[in-house]
Each structure stands twice: as structure tokens, then as C-alpha cells.
Structure 1
Amino acid sequence: MTNRYEAWPSLPVDSWIDTRDTVHLWTQIVGKTRMALGPAVNHWWGVTLYVDGSGLTTSLMPAGDRGLEIKFDFLNHDLLFQLTDGTSRRMALAPRTVADFHDEYTRHLRELGLDVRIVGTPVELPHAVPFAEDTTHCSYDAEAMSTFWHSLVSADRVFSRFRGEFRGKSSPSHFFWGAFDLAVTRFSGRPAPTHPGGIPNCPDWVMHEAYSAEVSSSGYWPGGDEEGVFYSYAYPHPEGYDTHPAVEAPARWDSALGEWVLPYHLVRQAPDPDAMLRAFLEQTYRAAVETAGWPSS
């Protein structure tokens, strides 16, 4: 099942929130697999997922002397396991509990000869029910997931171009399954003070590594407004960042989030959505650079 392709589609959060929250947990199971199999990379870049031609992928992970890729296909609504020896498995993306998803998922890994051990509880969520016991989250709206993926494709396009114009250290455009958001981050090259932590069901040392260096980070999160938001923040937070005149309306400072936000629905309704989002990324980056006194890059 697929829906009509729109580069910047409308998808009110209330219309798919149960699906969003269920798939969020599924991505955590798959993302933890990448964390278990792949090498550690600074700032947790080694655990993220990536937008691809049909959904989200782990990219190729080492699996003994083989390679493994796991893909969420939001066009055909399958989860695909593909090994470099030619073996593969598929499981349906359909209404099912997290416990059922976890059970079939781990069975496929065993049948593929893969001994993957992950921490069996969610992170960055206030209520961390073990995956194997979660019979509450059970929704899957196929059309909504295809639509959300379309929005990720467009956000990824703009984020990747923004990343490409920076000469310093910058992350890929990648999908963090902890918070279920797409993000891109630029680094000043200077160390940062130890992050205070305090994220629900996430050890403080995880945040210490994530924010060990000074950053200007932006992303897209399907929450925080009627159709989600684009956001931007600086760590550590420099004085004057939240009032810097470079950041123009309709972007606004969200004191609860501690971030600049630009509602998704305003971007998709703009005459040139890519240009509007690009301006937000550039303006908030300029605010970080000028208030924190970043070195030239």
C-alpha cells in the first residue's frame, strides 16, 4: 500500500500519534541492534538510522564475517533483514504489539545465525516497559508511515545540503531512535562542559558522550506542534542565543524545550519550503556562532 507522493505532506500529529509511538519503539529495537553490532562512533553516530529510498535503514553492520542491513520499508510495509551471503528475512509492518514485534524480530535474528544481545527496555521515555512485555502499543497506519517518510525525505535533503556547505566537523543527517527525530549537527571544534544528564531512562554517561563537544544542532521531530516541528539549539547555551536577531519569524524560542522551533506546517505551506527551512538552519547556526564566539570554519 502506498499513498500519493507529496514532498511536504500534511500529517497532523493527532491523526497518527498511536502509530508514531508504536513505530518509535520498533525503531529502538532495531537501533539497539545496530548499537550492539557496529563499532562505537563519537557522539553515538554509530547507532543511528538513515533515510533511504523506501524508509529507514541501519546501513550495513558487521555480523561476524558477514554484513547485515535491516530496513524499515514504508512503501511495502515490511522490515527486511538482508545478509551479504544472500540470505534474507521479512516481517510485516502491520498493527501488532511491541511484544509481538520483538518476539518475531528476535526469532528472525536467531534463524539467521545472529546472537545479538540488546538492553530490552526503551530509552529516553518516561515509562520504560520492556519490549517483550509491551502489549499496549499496537498501532500501525500504513498510509501515515508512508506520509511521514515523505516528510523525512524532504527534511533529509535540506539537512544534507546544509551539512555539505560546512567545512568543519559535522554529523550526517541521521535518525536518532531515542527521541524519534532526524538531526544534523555542526561542531565548533571546542570541548563542552559535562552535560547534566537527567534524560528519562537514559544513563547520564550517554549524554556526557553525546555532548562532549560544543555544538549547533538542528532537527525534525514529529511532535511539539500540530504537525511537528523543526528545532535548533546550541550546547552549551550561550548568553543571548535565545534572543538573537538573526532568527526571524515565524521561528520562535520555545522556553520549555530550550530550543528555537519552526512548525512543520508553516514550512510545508511556504511558497518554497526548502528555502524556508534552509533559512531557519542558517539563522540559528549564525545565532550560535555569534553568541558563543565560534572559531572561523
Structure 2
Amino acid sequence: MTMTDASWPPLPVQEWADTRDTVQLWTQMAGKVRLALTPLVNHWWNVPLYVDSRGLTTSLMPLGTGGLEIRFDFVDHRLRILHTDGREGDLALRPGTIAAFYAEFTGLLAELGADVELYPVPVELADVVPFDQDTRPAAYDPEAAHRFWISLVSASRVLNGFRAAYRGKASPVHFFWGAFDLATSRFSGRPAPRHPGGAPNCPDRVMHEAYDSEVSSAGYWPGGAGEGAFYSYAYPEPPGFRERDLGVDGAYFDDDLGEFLLPYARVRTAEDPDAALRGFLDATYRRASASATWPRETGRA
């Protein structure tokens, strides 16, 4: 394995789609706990997960006078629930059913004093079955899950550098469990028109809060064809945003998604993957901010 393969591993969607879909449902369970335990932060910044040294984490959530953290460990392939009083819960990441995993998961929460009421229906997915009723076989390939986590580590590194270059309001680099993507957003400081909503199995108020300000967002989505893609979009989309070539090798505008895309495979096979991705992020932000004439005082790069 080359150094590039080690930090930007191959991740053909067709080879791990079943595992990806299972992990997405698992992360939605953890994310719903975070939604239940944390106060609302603008644009729902209180609900995402974060990439850490073993996988994905909720970070510390308040629980009474203490706190709770849920961690997906894609090295040892365990889900760990950690209480600040020293108690822990642990279950294996393995094939089974979503219903069985949900029962174990909620049982561990109850044992640790986090008997929170969760809405047991997946969100932002078209065809859903409540977690506690989903008895279909659910796949889990540990090697694929580990490669996915490594891809998140690398994407997070570049996205964090990109975020740091902006002096205006910018989101953390965080993992949204609804759409299953790692993202960061820059804001112009101006309000945006009311978002139309329309995400599947998701109340429109979620999108209203997420997009109440003019924004340029970018991130990494391991879905679609090939090996997934990096994306960038602007809301509201300014005139001329999609009309000219970015000048970034392999990047294109997808009319159906309304986003610029750069295939993950083009990044991982580039001579300098980090530089290739950063070039895409910088170019799409420049296009968004210039097309919408963002105020200079926002810290426009």
C-alpha cells in the first residue's frame, strides 16, 4: 500500500454500499441522542458528529449534572457509551438487524441513566422503516468501515485548513448523520430567503433553520456512483454560479443536485490529493462569493 492509499484509500461505493447504509442508520441513532440532550445551536450545529482518533463521536453531551459521550470506534469496531461518572456501555459493530442494534443501544442508554425519548424513524432518507421494526439483514464490513473512517480523517484535515483561512462566520467541520456527509460552511453575514424544504422524512423547519443565512457550503459525501464525491454549493444560488468552468481538473456542475462535484477517486489518485481538494474548495468558494458579491468585511478570502 502506498502512502497515498494509506491516507486516501479506495472506496468503491458498490463494494460497501450495504455497510455504508447500516452505519448511516447507526449514526442516526447516536445523533438523535445528541439532538435530545443538547440545546439548539444555530443551523443545528448541536446535532452533528465529529471525526476523532478512532472513528466518530458525539463529543460530550450534558446529562443531569454530568455528561455522556457516544463513540463509534472503527479500529476495534465497537460502539462505546461513556458517562462522566466512570460507567461505560459497549456493544460490537457487526452484521445483524437494525432492530436488534437499536434495542441494545437504547438498553445501554437506559443502564447509564440516559433514558431519553428518541423519534425512532430515520430522516433524510426516502424509504424508511422505524429502527425498532427494521428486521431486515444489515451488513457490516469492518475493513470497509475502517477505510471510510480513514477517508474522513483525510477529508477533515483539508476541510479544517480551508475553514481556518476564513475570518468570517464559519461552521465547524462536522458530520451530519441525516445526509451522511462531512461538511463546513462559510457565511456572508446576510440573511437568506426562506428555504423551500422538501428533504425526505424531514420537517421543513429543519431546512428553514439550516439555511436562514446566505452560505457557501462544501463537504464530502460517500454516496452516489463511483467512490463518492466532494461537493460545493451556494444558498441561495447566485446568478452565474454554475455557468463557467471552475478550472479544476475533474470538477463539474451536477444540474440535478445543484452542486459542483469533484469525484473522490480524482482526489485520491492525484499527485497531491490534499492540494487537489483544497484547490476545489477555494475555487468553488471564490465562485460563490464573487457571484453573490459578498461583503469584504466578512473576511472573504
TM-score bracket relative to the smaller structure: over 0.9
Output the CA distance in 1 between the equivalents of 2:214 and 2:41. Answer: 17
The Cα of 1:137 is off from its aligned counterpart by 4.9
Describe the SS at the equivalent of 1:99. Answer: helix
Output the CA distance in 2 between the equivalents of 1:250 and 1:214. Answer: 27
- The aligned amino acid for 1:6 is A
Greater CA deviation, 241-250 or 70-79? 241-250
Describe the SS at the equivalent of 2:227. Answer: coil
- The aligned amino acid for 1:15 is E
The Cα of 1:191 is off from its aligned counterpart by 0.3
2:88 is aligned with 1:88: yes
Question: Structure 2 regions of 5+ residues with no counterpart?
Answer: none
Describe the superposition over 1:19-59 as per-residue Cα deviations: whole angstroms up to 9, x where unpaired. 00011001000000000001111001100000000000000
Output the CA distance in 2 between the equivalents of 1:168 and 1:285. Answer: 13
Describe the SS at the equivalent of 2:45. Answer: helix
Provide the aligned C-alpha RMSD in A: 1.2
Alignment match, 1:32? 32
Question: Structure 1 regions of 5+ residues with no counterpart?
Answer: none
The Cα of 1:114 is off from its aligned counterpart by 1.5
Alignment match, 1:17? 17
Alignment match, 1:259? 259
Contact persistence 1:22–1:137 (CA under 8 A) = no
Alignment match, 1:272? 272
CA gap of 1:237–1:254, structure 2 versus 1, over 3 A, is: same
Report runs of 4+ in structure 1 exceeding 4 Å deviation: none
- The aligned amino acid for 1:208 is H
Contact persistence 2:245–2:252 (CA under 8 A) = no
Contact persistence 1:246–1:286 (CA under 8 A) = no
Output the CA distance in 2 between the equivalents of 1:113 and 1:60. Answer: 15
CA gap of 1:253–1:137, structure 2 versus 1, over 3 A, is: farther
Trace 1:1-297 onto structure 2 (pairs within 5 A). 6-296=6-296, 297=299
The Cα of 1:244 is off from its aligned counterpart by 3.5
Output the CA distance in 2 between the equivalents of 1:50 and 1:5. Answer: 23
TM-score normalised over the length of structure 1? 0.97
TM-score normalised over the length of structure 2? 0.96
Percent identity of equivalent pairs: 60
- The aligned amino acid for 1:120 is P
Describe the superposition over 1:41-92 as per-residue Cα deviations: whole angstroms up to 9, x where unpaired. 1001100000000000000000111110100000000000111111101100
Output the CA distance in 2 between the equivalents of 1:75 and 1:5. Answer: 17
The Cα of 1:113 is off from its aligned counterpart by 1.5
Contact persistence 1:247–1:284 (CA under 8 A) = no
Output the CA distance in 2 between the equivalents of 1:141 and 1:245. Answer: 38
Describe the SS at the equivalent of 1:27. Answer: helix
Output the CA distance in 2 between the equivalents of 1:227 and 1:193. Answer: 34
Describe the SS at the equivalent of 2:122. Answer: coil
